[in-house]
Structure 1
Amino acid sequence: MEPWFQEVYRAVSRGEPAFRTFAAEKTVYLRSFHPRERLILLGGGHVAQPLCRYAADLGFAVTVVDDRPSFANTLRFPEAAEVVCEDFAAALRQLSICERDYVAVITRGHRYDADCLRTILTGPFPRYLGMIGSRRRVAGLFRLLEEEGYSRELLEAVHAPIGLPIGALTVQEIGISIAAELVQCRRQETPRRSRAAALVTDNVDLPLLRFLAEDPAPKALLTVIETSGSTPVKSGAMMAVDRAFRTAGTIGGGCGENAVLLEACRLIGSGESRCVTVDLSNDVAEEEGMVCGGQMKVFVEDLTEEDSGNGLRT
């Protein structure tokens, strides 16, 4: 049977989510692997620049669209994964928005906002759709679109005015308010309890998965399954190590990580697994200059022979 990490690696390489389940200490844990979410910024104006930076830092793959070459270029948006200089409606048809996408309508005028919404609302509704503008401007545009036949239910699903109400005035503050709303939407279904069976961290670490799937050397895998107090990473953080002490990924760094790595190296080839508790509230944390004061429980498993109790869902 093919190892789970090869299946996960193939799935996320295609841009598809994947899920791994595994048992540790009589609990079945779920580790999700979600590829970077695409954020489409419709409009390359002044708000788009800080928003692109903040969103890229948050792990979004940002696509910027504007019909003006002086605004739609990589010099203006170096953090963007893609910059499209095209009419908004035409660009949206090319981008083929899906239910996993995030879209921010931040164009330079009412007419362009309307064109964007007309195109978006006729296709799959994205996970997040926000539009900039005052309450009066938003209400007027929604009345127009409702008269054209767009349903009130769809229009009410649009986050407008865009962003969380933090009293933002500058373009940077507005960018932060929108970025915060993106995080709020992203984390709606993330478990809050650190001991939840669904692990919190769900990002895709491609170098880690590539190390597992393509490098033939025997390895051990470290997965944080529980946290309490203040810790450098949350549950779901992963790291792999081989006998040569080559590593990929991280479970927070420092002396605590090194201690678990030594235990992991000893397990390689044994076919065994065990849980190790890392205490960050003692002198180790102080010596490392950490502000953390919690504990992490790390599940360490030998990957030389796959545990028949582990599984994958995609």
Structure 2
Amino acid sequence: MDRKEFLLALRTIKNRYEKGESTELVFPGEDAGQEYKRLFQKPTRLIILGCGYVAQALCRFASALEFYVVVTDDRPSFANHGLFPDADEVICDSFENAIDKIKIRETDFVVVVTRGHRHDVLCLRALLDKKKPMPAYVGQIGSKRRVIQLMDALEEEGYERERLDQIYTPIGLSIGAVTPEEIGISILAELIKVRSEKNNRTKDMLDQTNADPVFLEYVENNEEKVIALVVGRSGSAPVKTGAIMAIDRLGKSYGTVGGGCGEHEVTMQARNVFLKKQDKSMLLDLTNDVASDEGMVCGGTMKIMLYYMPGE
């Protein structure tokens, strides 16, 4: 697509992103015929039903690994931001009401870690309702014997075995987990595995798929800007390929390509792009001996494309 069409596509991302829809953009490379594909897709929504110790550990780890975390419990002393500072949403309500409010989608991941059998059953009944979409992942905590009994009881109630068989149980990968933190890690390992298997990103796409809301907000305007996109990396570079940032005429940035001295250098190079009104590529060297002078614990290199976007 030409630059005008590209700009129009770029400005539609925010609306589609907020709706949970995916958008694929193709960025031109340095050479004729070369291109970089970047998928813009919201982080996977992880819904944790139950706010006990395992849920607290899981929330902490999952939020650091690009999950959008929603937690819910009917106990105010547990369902609060004090215990879940990393959660994107905390809902204190009955599990049935909370599940209705959340409006679970086919792309969601759901972990059932309530405080008892009665609450587990309530949650699973709501999740197995044929009138509602089956989430991409449903995991149920509990011993193998207890969970088998639970699944059999639900089948006797009339729930389809096909849906019951889609529930991951016992939850988590088998790593000999004992403590809440270890159990949280075993669950998260399984979530990452399933997320990777269900990812819409193809092998020829850049790695990062989420986007900073500040970036999405800024690119909607008609101002002249430069888009910086990480298209290659080696060593211990601070971000994945696909990291993206916009820079305005004054040198203010929206989003990030890693921060620190490296990002400052990208902003400086953007001045030349504004001046010449031409795209350019740059190789950012973050080797440890240089990075240490700036207090950065990183190394390696990043290849970054800088795209000139004319205003209107």
Q: TM-score range by the shorter chain?
A: 0.7 to 0.9
What does 1:78-227 correspond to in 2, within 5 Å? 78-122=85-129, 123-188=132-197, 196-214=203-221, 216-227=222-233
SS, match of residue 213 in structure 1: coil
In the alignment, is the contact (CA less than 8 A) between 1:270 and 1:302 conserved in 2?
no
CA deviation digits over 1:78-115, x for unaligned, max 9?
33333333332232223221111111101112222122
1:142 and 1:299 map into 2 onto residues whose CA distance is 52
In the alignment, is the contact (CA less than 8 A) between 1:191 and 1:198 conserved in 2?
no
Higher relative contact order (CA 8 A, sep 6+): 1
**TM-score, normalized by length of structure 1?**
0.86
Residue 235 in 1 paired to residue 244 in 2?
no
1:36 and 1:50 map into 2 onto residues whose CA distance is 19
Q: Matched residue pairs, number? A: 303
SS, match of residue 240 in structure 2: coil
1:271 and 1:127 map into 2 onto residues whose CA distance is 45
1:84 and 1:293 map into 2 onto residues whose CA distance is 41
What does 1:292-311 correspond to in 2, within 5 Å? 292-304=298-310
CA deviation digits over 1:227-260, x for unaligned, max 9?
2333111110112222321112222234443333
Structure 2 letter corresponding to 1:20: L
Moved more, 179-188 or 124-133: 179-188
| Residue in structure 2 matched with residue 10 of structure 1 by the alignment | 15
What does 1:244-255 correspond to in 2, within 5 Å? 244-255=250-261
| Residue in structure 2 matched with residue 265 of structure 1 by the alignment | 271
1:162 and 1:21 map into 2 onto residues whose CA distance is 38
Q: Percent identity?
A: 45
In the alignment, is the contact (CA less than 8 A) between 1:101 and 1:126 conserved in 2?
yes
2:157 and 2:297 map into 1 onto residues whose CA distance is 56
Moved more, 126-135 or 13-22: 13-22
| Residue in structure 1 matched with residue 79 of structure 2 by the alignment | 72
Shift of 1:132: 0.4
Residue 21 in 1 paired to residue 30 in 2?
no
Q: Residues 191 and 74 (structure 1 numbering): CA distance in 2 closer, same or farther, change over 3 Å?
A: closer
Q: Residues 273 and 105 (structure 1 numbering): CA distance in 2 closer, same or farther, change over 3 Å?
A: same
Moved more, 286-295 or 223-232: 286-295
SS, match of residue 153 in structure 2: helix
| Residue in structure 2 matched with residue 38 of structure 1 by the alignment | 45
In the alignment, is the contact (CA less than 8 A) between 1:224 and 1:234 conserved in 2?
yes
SS, match of residue 167 in structure 2: coil
1:260 and 1:207 map into 2 onto residues whose CA distance is 18
Q: Residues 292 and 86 (structure 1 numbering): CA distance in 2 closer, same or farther, change over 3 Å?
A: closer
Structure 2 letter corresponding to 1:302: Y
1:173 and 1:262 map into 2 onto residues whose CA distance is 44
Residue 56 in 1 paired to residue 63 in 2?
yes
2:236 and 2:63 map into 1 onto residues whose CA distance is 25
1:114 and 1:189 map into 2 onto residues whose CA distance is 27
Task: Please list every run of 5 or more consecutive structure 1 residues that lacks an aligned counterpart in the other structure.
Answer: 307-314
1:30 and 1:105 map into 2 onto residues whose CA distance is 36
Task: Please list every run of 5 or more consecutive structure 2 residues that lacks an aligned counterpart in the other structure.
Answer: none
In the alignment, is the contact (CA less than 8 A) between 1:199 and 1:236 conserved in 2?
yes
1:232 and 1:153 map into 2 onto residues whose CA distance is 43
2:250 and 2:106 map into 1 onto residues whose CA distance is 43
Shift of 1:205: 0.7
Q: Residues 253 and 3 (structure 1 numbering): CA distance in 2 closer, same or farther, change over 3 Å?
A: same
Shift of 1:127: 1.6
2:95 and 2:199 map into 1 onto residues whose CA distance is 33
